[in-house]
Chains A and B, each alone.
Chain A
């Protein structure tokens, strides 16, 4: 698998991820899902620029009393 730390996630990385999680990787199916995977992971790249030191996940909502 190519290095996901690169600036842009491309077709090969999307294909590798699809294989990894057991998706149908036929050319026909990848034409549909491949661009979705690329777009999704490209949108996630921006999060790497956010300083998350000392930040906990947003378990912001509790059941019962607020």
Chain B
């Protein structure tokens, strides 16, 4: 098998080859590093490529597998960490000037669990500075470029992870998601991104943006890969105060289950209000595909959803301003202009406004819980419009101009307010060849339901098999 073909395989398919010893982890890593060498100058996905460490890990995996100690489907698979996850001995910069020289003393829980599963960590990916933004147009480490059109953004904040997975510079990657930062780049880059239930995956050792909204999760080439990744990283972690001590299901078993008779809700309000027609038609076609597989589709109502943007802004900006206050006071000039302005604006939020936003959150969460008592999952577009050119701060929707950031996270941030799990998966392409994705939202700790529905859709379509032109 050619080197590039090897890189383009999903973790599930690579794992099958590695387990049978038809391909070795070192061979896979060599192919991946060669591809990084060739494409990274065009895409700028990584802050740090960990060549030596990855080679040592791949050699160790090869030895272990040869000795009969195969650890499972991530053993020997090249993965990347968003550069906000601490990894012992490597820089963890949060793609910021402020943390540019920070070297991690220990592994975050997710990194440790990935290592335990035998994954080979090839590098740390670029992000929107401190995960505060949706473009990954980073003033300190340069912009990451979308593999489907290198003049465009990959989305953010986990843009380096999204672009790296889409361009096969790694097989899978971690992301964080505070208002959509896993799902937005997954939409723009044409990959699968899963924001698990709040508390399902540890945040210990991950740089904070907002304590009550932050989530960590996988960004992958397929739904099955998301299940494989989740199996490795999910589970209670006493080092994370918001970690939930709930049983971890067999995520991979959810892949391939029958979907006939499942109920899918489509929101009446908000989620299709200001969406580009080609995005809406792709998502409605995807819903029809699921209906064709025997899923019952019904309209649902989320009557207070319009209060989400204000409440979300109050919470994320207050909490981010609190976390950043020491640096904002002593090193304000070291932030990029957009991030500094957002953080400083957060300092002007009154305590009463923050508390009322958390009260609004109770109301919004109740809407979702009532809807999900009637249906198994909710389907929406992930993002209202496809990727814009790098440097563009607005987006056109139905002939109207909208500010990019609040538009890009408009359909994803409500789910962070609820803590519910949500997955984004490819469901089409725009006329100019850019990916479009659908978001599925489920009940708390019911990621398996999302994986079942998402896989059924994926198995019925070919979108996930397309390769970006840069590749």
Nearest-neighbor residue (CB-CB) of A14 within chain B: B348
- Contact assessment for A66 and B349 in the assembled complex, using a CB-CB cutoff below 8 Å: no
- Contact assessment for B341 and A40 in the assembled complex, using a CB-CB cutoff below 8 Å: no
Q: Which residues of the partner chain A approach B347 to less than 8 Å between Cβ atoms?
A: 21, 23
- Contact assessment for B361 and A57 in the assembled complex, using a CB-CB cutoff below 8 Å: yes
B244 within 8 A of A: yes
- Contact assessment for A21 and B307 in the assembled complex, using a CB-CB cutoff below 8 Å: no
Q: Which residues of the partner chain B approach A44 to less than 8 Å between Cβ atoms?
A: 310, 313-314, 349, 353, 357
- Contact assessment for A32 and B365 in the assembled complex, using a CB-CB cutoff below 8 Å: no
- Contact assessment for B198 and A61 in the assembled complex, using a CB-CB cutoff below 8 Å: yes
In angstroms, Cα B417 to Cα A55, docked, is: 16
Most buried by A among B347, B403, B406: B347
- Contact assessment for A55 and B362 in the assembled complex, using a CB-CB cutoff below 8 Å: yes
B139 to chain A, nearest CB (A): 13
Contact-residue bracket for chain A: 20 to 34
**Could you tell me the dominant secondary structure of chain B's interface residues?**
helix
- Contact assessment for B365 and A47 in the assembled complex, using a CB-CB cutoff below 8 Å: no
Total B residues in contact with A, Cβ cutoff 8 Å: 46
B258 within 8 A of A: no
Nearest-neighbor residue (CB-CB) of A55 within chain B: B359
In angstroms, Cα B359 to Cα A22, docked, is: 28
Q: Which residues of the partner chain A approach B359 to less than 8 Å between Cβ atoms?
A: 52, 55-58
- Contact assessment for A46 and B348 in the assembled complex, using a CB-CB cutoff below 8 Å: no
Nearest-neighbor residue (CB-CB) of A23 within chain B: B344
In angstroms, Cα B365 to Cα A55, docked, is: 12
**Which of B332, B348, B358 is the one whose CB lies under 8 Å from A40?**
B348
B76 within 8 A of A: no
- Contact assessment for A50 and B307 in the assembled complex, using a CB-CB cutoff below 8 Å: yes
Given A50-B363, A66-B445, answer yes or no on A36-B341 (Cβ-Cβ < 8 Å).
Answer: yes
In angstroms, Cα B348 to Cα A20, docked, is: 8
Nearest-neighbor residue (CB-CB) of A49 within chain B: B307
**Which of B360, B403, B444 is the one whose CB lies under 8 Å from A52?**
B360
B65 within 8 A of A: no
**Which of B199, B346, B353, B406 is the one whose CB lies under 8 Å from A66?**
B199
B246 to chain A, nearest CB (A): 5
- Contact assessment for A58 and B304 in the assembled complex, using a CB-CB cutoff below 8 Å: no
Most buried by A among B243, B356, B357: B356
Given A58-B361, A61-B212, answer yes or no on A37-B348 (Cβ-Cβ < 8 Å).
Answer: yes
| Residues of chain B at the chain A interface (Cβ within 8 Å) | 198-199, 212, 241-246, 304, 306-307, 309-311, 313-314, 317, 332, 337, 340-342, 344-349, 353, 355-363, 365, 403, 406, 417, 419, 444-445
A-B contact pairs, 7 of them (CB 8 A): A36-B342, A37-B344, A37-B348, A39-B403, A46-B310, A47-B356, A55-B360
| Residues of chain A at the chain B interface (Cβ within 8 Å) | 14, 17-18, 20-21, 23-24, 32-33, 36-37, 39-41, 43-47, 49-50, 52, 55-61, 63-66
